[in-house]
Amino acid sequence: MTTPILIDCDPGHDDAIALLLALASPEVELLGVTTVSGNQTLEKTTANALRVLEFVGRGDVEVAAGAEQPLVRPRFVAEYVHGESGLDGPSLPPPRGGPVARHAVDFLAERILGSDEPVTLLPVGPLTNVALLLARHPAAAERLGRIVLMGGSIAEGNVTPAAEFNVWADPEAAERVFSSGLDVTMIGLDVTHRALVTPTHAARLRDSGRTGTMVAELLDFYSVFHRETYGFDGSPIHDAVAVAHVLRPGLVETAHRHVAVETGSELCRGRTVVDLWRRTGHEPNAHVGVGIDAEAFVELLLERLATLD
């Protein structure tokens, strides 16, 4: 059975690769893409989503632009990771098309309510649009099958020692999502940092065709931050792990735990406090990624990208 999905993203190198993986996978039907400010400004993340879709001939997939800034916090873009364009590396032409006129939040509601099957929503950027969906269209939110988000972490942070970027960028939005009562899966740094795409993998991508070459060029740029910051010999394709989890259940091992989001402290702003050992007595509210078959993920990713051209 094909699962209808919607991807809310902030392209962003790993968002772009997540979009390509979804487009290359028969297990899912991409009903649309929404964009949010995060890795770059909304204008740039929206243009990047359009550029990636057009690059593989999928300009038919509609894109709707969403929030220009977080619910409460000032906007902060991760130019130090993704570059001035948000997709530095390959020379992708500017988009020919544009986003639909509807706001992302209304677009998401329309697609969710219009689907015969429950939709899986994959937020892979800050959760501003998703929190707004919960507030503005609660009936649509209730019709969601599940939310599989890339964000948070049990242990380490990346934007601060305490927090992962997507949750840190809009912690109030994240708190709303985790306390929504919906079926939420959290694909965090604990698993994404364990599944790196290495230069050897990139060489295979270059040999796999036009799209593989473009992805290798994305990785040429994206790997610099990870080598300089972590000493990694490769790049974590965070957002693609969330897509892979939908494609192949079991590839990521999860544990049903309570997750709270720190919004009061500046030091620990955006920390996802995962009750891994069930010490609080709080009811679990998320399926948290605790393990990953890294080799299976990378092989699935490379195999699927090779089918695009």
Q: How far is the CB of 39 from ligand RIB (least distance, A)?
A: 5
Region from 11-19, 67-75, 83-91, 272-280 binding ligand RIB, contact rule CB under 6 A = 11-19
Rg (CA), the chain: 18
Q: Which CA distances in Å does 169 have to 37, 80, 183, 230?
A: 9, 15, 22, 21
Instruction: State both tokens at 15.
Output: 């968002």
Residue 289, contacted partner among Ca ion, ligand RIB, none, CB below 5-8 A by kind: none
What is the DSSP secondary structure assignment for residue 308, as one 8-state letter?
-
Longest CA–CA span in the chain (Å) reads: 53
- Quick one: 163 or 208, whose CB is closer to Ca ion? 163
Region from 10-18, 114-122, 134-142, 177-185 binding ligand RIB, contact rule CB under 6 A = 10-18
Alpha helices by DSSP H, listed for the chain, are: 13-23, 42-55, 79-82, 104-114, 128-136, 138-143, 165-169, 171-178, 189-192, 199-206, 210-230, 238-247, 294-305
Q: How far is the CB of 147 from ligand RIB (least distance, A)?
A: 14
158 binds ligand RIB (CB under 6 A): yes
Beta-carbon contacts of 1 under 8 Å, excluding residues fewer than 6 positions away, are: 117
- Quick one: 15 or 217, whose CB is closer to Ca ion? 15
- Quick one: 86 or 99, whose CB is closer to ligand RIB? 86
Residue 165, contacted partner among Ca ion, ligand RIB, none, CB below 5-8 A by kind: ligand RIB
125 binds ligand RIB (CB under 6 A): yes
238 binds ligand RIB (CB under 6 A): yes
- Quick one: 67 or 140, whose CB is closer to ligand RIB? 67
What is the DSSP secondary structure assignment for residue 296, as one 8-state letter?
H
Element (H, E) at 291: strand 286-292
- For residue 244, the SS3 value is helix
Q: Which residues are catalytic?
A: 238
12 binds Ca ion (CB under 5 A): yes
**58 contacts 22 by C-beta, under 8 angstroms:** no
Instruction: State both tokens at 197.
Output: 């795409």
38 binds ligand RIB (CB under 6 A): yes
**27 contacts 1 by C-beta, under 8 angstroms:** no
In the chain, how many H helices and how many E strands?
13, 12
- Quick one: 178 or 258, whose CB is closer to Ca ion? 178
**Beta pairing, strands 252-257 & 286-292:** antiparallel
289 binds Ca ion (CB under 5 A): no
Region from 129-137, 157-165, 208-216, 248-256 binding ligand RIB, contact rule CB under 6 A = 157-165
Q: Cα separation of 88 and 183, whole Å? A: 35
- Quick one: 70 or 137, whose CB is closer to ligand RIB? 70
Region from 7-15, 47-55, 214-222, 262-270 binding ligand RIB, contact rule CB under 6 A = 7-15
Q: How far is the CB of 15 from Ca ion (least distance, A)?
A: 4
Region from 112-120, 158-166, 217-225, 258-266 binding ligand RIB, contact rule CB under 6 A = 158-166
Beta strands in 53-129 (DSSP E): 63-65, 120-123
222 binds ligand RIB (CB under 6 A): no
- Residues near ligand RIB, by CB under 6 A: 10, 12, 14-15, 38-39, 124-125, 150, 158, 164-166, 238-239
Give me the residues that bind Ca ion (CB under 5 A), please: 10, 12, 15, 124-125, 239
